[in-house]
Amino acid sequence: MKAINITNLKKAYNNVPVVDIPLLNIYQGEIVGVVGNNGAGKTTLLRLCLDLIKATKGTVSLNGTVVSKDDCWKKVTGSYLDTNFLLEFLTAKEFLYFTGEAYRLSKAEIDKRKIVFNKLMTDEITGNEKYIHELSSGNKQKVGIVSAMIIHPEILILDEPFNFLDPTSQFELKRLLKELNTIHKTTILVSSHNIEHIINLSSRVILMEKGRIAKDRNNDNKEVENELRRYFELFNEKEALKNE
**Confidence band, pLDDT 50/70/90 cuts, at residue 109:** very high
The CB-side HSE value for 136 (13 A sphere, CA atoms) comes to 10
**Interval 47-92: pLDDT, tens:** 999 999 999 999 999 999 999 999 999 999 999 999 999 999 999 9
* Domains along the chain with CATH numbers: 2-84+152-242 (3.40.50.300)
How deeply is 84 buried, as exposed, middle or buried, from its count of CB atoms within 10 A (0-12, 13-18, 19+)?
exposed
Judged by phi (left if over 0) then psi (alpha if -120 to 50, else beta), residue 106 lies in: beta
Closest CA to 97 of 143, 140, 50, 135: 143
Which pairing describes strands 16-27 and 65-66: parallel, antiparallel, or unpaired?
unpaired
Q: What radius of gyration, in Å, describes the C-alpha atoms of the chain?
A: 18
Q: For 91-116, what is the mean pLDDT?
A: 96
State pTM to two decimals: 0.94
